[in-house]
Amino acid sequence: MQVKEEAERARPKRDREATRRRILDASRDLFGEHGYDGVTVRMIAARAEANTALVHRYFGSKAALFGEVLAGESLLREVIAGEPDSLPRRLAEHFVAQLYRPSGTPVSRMLDRSAGQPEVQEILLHHLRDIIVEPLIEQLDGPDARARAHLATTIIMGGGPLRRLLGLHDLRATDQAALTDRLTAMFTAALAAPADH
């Protein structure tokens, strides 16, 4: 056991980072294909050509690994960052871009197949808070920033259930520029400070 640990320590950092990346990539693909409950650490390790001990050492648990994949794949942090005045437009453009992607993003597939799992719900709450709600709040002036951020988050996250329950044909059939304009108006209204302030 000690010889194995020494060999692992002696391995170049680049190899550890490459292995870590393979584990994250394998996890993203498997969670997207099978959902959280349909994936085991053993499946992830096999797909990543690693052993289960490394998966546990680098990430701790399947739940923590799911959370890390979710955080690493999300584009929303970058979309939210930037000038506050153009935030509604950036959110609308991001929303529309996701609609027109043929199979959605890795994150959307993970969420579509995993959101109902109790173990995942806590991870999703942290993700929503850290990646969407808190960054939105930082962009907002005036009162009720948290409520306004939650309202915008509701619009953002509504795309997943729509995709699952109704499909996207009707939205994709709409003119993309017109759809972006409508969503910009929705995000503008959701994020606006109350009129009496």
Q: Which residue has the higher pLDDT, 194 or 190?
A: 190
**Domain hosting residue 152, numbered range:** 74-191
Q: Are residues 112 and 15 in the same domain?
A: no
What span, in angstroms and rounded, lies between the C-alpha atoms of 16 and 177?
A: 45
pLDDT tens-digit readout, 28-65: 999 988 888 899 999 999 999 999 999 999 999 999 99
The pLDDT value given to residue 113: 76
What does the longest C-alpha to C-alpha distance in the chain come to? 70
Contact status, residue 119 vs residue 35, Cβ threshold 8 Å: no
- Give the position of tokens 């609308």: 92
Work out how many domains the chain is built from and give that number. Answer: 2
Q: Which residue has the higher pLDDT, 193 or 98?
A: 193
CATH of the domain at 44: 1.10.10.60
CATH of the domain at 122: 1.10.357
What span, in angstroms and rounded, lies between the C-alpha atoms of 108 and 97?
A: 12
- Per-residue pLDDT averaged across 164-181, rounded? 76
What span, in angstroms and rounded, lies between the C-alpha atoms of 60 and 64?
A: 6
Instruction: Please indicate, yes or no, if residue 66 is contained in any of the structural domains.
Output: no
For residue 103, the 8-state DSSP code is T
The pLDDT value given to residue 158: 75
Q: Which residue has the higher pLDDT, 5 or 52?
A: 52
Contact status, residue 55 vs residue 69, Cβ threshold 8 Å: no
The pLDDT value given to residue 160: 61
**Is pTM beyond 0.85 here?**
no
Domain end point (choices 36, 61, 86): 61
Question: 177: burial class by Cβ within 10 Å (0-12, 13-18, 19+)?
Answer: exposed
pLDDT tens-digit readout, 106-165: 677 777 777 777 888 888 888 889 889 999 999 999 999 999 999 999 888 876 666 656
- Give the position of tokens 């701790």: 60
Q: Are residues 83 and 178 in the same domain?
A: yes
The pLDDT value given to residue 104: 59
Q: Are residues 56 and 79 in the same domain?
A: no
Q: Are residues 50 and 131 in the same domain?
A: no
The angle formed by the CA atoms of residues 67, 17 and 76, to the nearest 5 degrees, is 40
Instruction: Please indicate, yes or no, if residue 18 is contained in any of the structural domains.
Output: yes
Q: Are residues 48 and 105 in the same domain?
A: no
Residue count of the chain = 197
For residue 186, give both structure tokens. Answer: 């929705």
- Per-residue pLDDT averaged across 15-35, rounded? 91
The pLDDT value given to residue 8: 55
Instruction: Please indicate, yes or no, if residue 69 is contained in any of the structural domains.
Output: no
Domain end point (choices 15, 37, 61): 61
